[in-house]
Amino acid sequence: MLILLPPSEGKAEPPGDAEPAELDRLVFADLLTDGRARLLDELTELPKLDRDEAVSILGISPGQAADVDRNATLRKAPAAPASDVYTGVLYDRLDFPGLPARARKRASENVLIASGLWGMVRPDDRIPNYRFPAKARLPEVGPLPKFWRESLTEAFQEAGYDEPGETVLDMRSAAYSPAWKPRNARLVPVRAFTEAGGERKTVSHMAKATRGEVARIVLTAGRIPEGPEEVADLVSSTGMSVELSDDGLDVIETG
């Protein structure tokens, strides 16, 4: 089973004396390194543009304008494992540092994190602090999901993640999911809802927490579930209300 996570907008700063990221050591290096290098080269050029234009290209707010300059130095910036760099509600609930050793090993084998800049990274891939949302549109690059789609499709096929009978537990946000969708494996989005008075509503912030909890439940189980039904049973056994359908795994909080 493969678990796909989103990146986080907020990120922790790696130690100042840490070595920079090495592109040839990131996951799928044979297929994604050229794309990663191209994006890094484009980011190096952004500070030469008008600042408002550069901010608009990155899809960030004026208050985040300093990230234009930060991104231009990413090749030399200190790096740390992605599981330490990504922060926020989902990662707080998943709690990579607090996972038992067996679960950490599973995460290194069964978890990939989507990224506009890197395409995908493993939790233990070393990356710098950066800001590059999926809505960024660099000159000559265009929409990032489209930029990555062909390379990711080939990478997932070569890695055996897109085989009949395989399950992909999808925690990605809507901005990142178009970059790759399986052709053969079963994609199971994890969604979160609140329900009151017979009315069900999606709550985005709660969804991040729920996805982090579900990922942790799967990684710390006695064994990795073999399919969506086993995932649903496993999550339900913790007391969470779960519904499994062709649309995905829905976790419902009633009140």
pTM above 0.85, yes or no: yes
Please write the tens of the pLDDT for every residue from 34-79. 999 999 999 999 999 999 999 999 999 999 999 999 999 999 999 9
Name the pLDDT band for 11 (thresholds 50, 70, 90).
very high
Please write the tens of the pLDDT for every residue from 148-192. 999 999 999 999 999 999 999 999 999 999 999 999 999 999 999
Domain carrying residue 188: 2-254
Q: Give helix then strand counts, H and E, for the chain.
A: 9, 10
Using CA of residue 8, residue 81, residue 215, residue 115, what is the dihedral sign? Answer: positive
| Residue-by-residue DSSP string for 138-186 | -TTT--HHHHHHHHHHHHHHHHT-S-TT-EEEE---TTTGGG---SSSE
Name the pLDDT band for 216 (thresholds 50, 70, 90).
very high
Indicate whether 202 pLDDT > 90.
no
- The H or E element spanning position 206 is helix 204-219
Tokens of 232: 């649903």
| Residue-by-residue DSSP string for 209-242 | HHHHHHHHHHHTSSS--SSHHHHHHHHHTTT-EE
Please report how many Cα atoms fall inside a 13 Å half-sphere around the Cα of residue 209, on the Cβ side.
10
Count of domains observed in the chain: 1
Q: Which of 150, 108, 255 is nearest to 193 (CA)?
A: 255
Q: What are the backbone angles phi and psi of residue 29, rounded to the nearest 5°?
A: -60, -35
Which residues, at least 6 apart from 148, have a Cβ–Cβ distance to it below 8 Å?
32, 35, 119, 179, 180
Indicate whether 93 pLDDT > 90.
yes
